[in-house]
Amino acid sequence: IVLTQSPGTLSLSPGQRATLSCRASQSVSSSHLAWYQQKPGQAPRLLIYYASTRAAGIPDRFSGSGSGTDFTLTISRLEPEDFAVYFCQHCGSSLRCTFGQGTKLEIK
């Protein structure tokens, strides 16, 4: 399974809404789709699992949705600390996992 994220770079201002896309090359179970945030010099941080469940401590401005081949991460109102790179990830039942190539969210 190949995950394709779009756009590659998203330029927005604090307070705006961000919509990031992740498309799978074939239909996947939403139970197996996750999103991560990575800031420079840091390890990735889990944001969303099961396509729409926020991980512990993640603010409610982050939300995930989608099914089948199309999934979306939405940040309702961008805070300065949200500018980072975001990755989607799929793990199959056999625990073969793959990541999307990432979307860089930058300040406009």
The site for another protein (CB under 8 A) is made up of 31-34, 36, 38, 43-46, 49-50, 55-56, 87, 89-91, 94-102
Distance from C-alpha of 28 to C-alpha of 39, rounded to nearest angstrom: 27
Nearest distance, CB of residue 87 and another protein, angstroms: 6
Nearest distance, CB of residue 34 and another protein, angstroms: 4
The two beta strands, 9-12 and 103-107, are: parallel
Rank residues 18 and 54 by Cβ distance to another protein and give the closer one: 54
Sequence-separated (6 or more) residues with CB below 8 Å from residue 45:
36, 37, 38
Rank residues 12 and 55 by Cβ distance to another protein and give the closer one: 55
Rank residues 13 and 95 by Cβ distance to another protein and give the closer one: 95
Distance from C-alpha of 35 to C-alpha of 12, rounded to nearest angstrom: 19
Distance from C-alpha of 5 to C-alpha of 100, rounded to nearest angstrom: 6
Nearest distance, CB of residue 107 and another protein, angstroms: 19
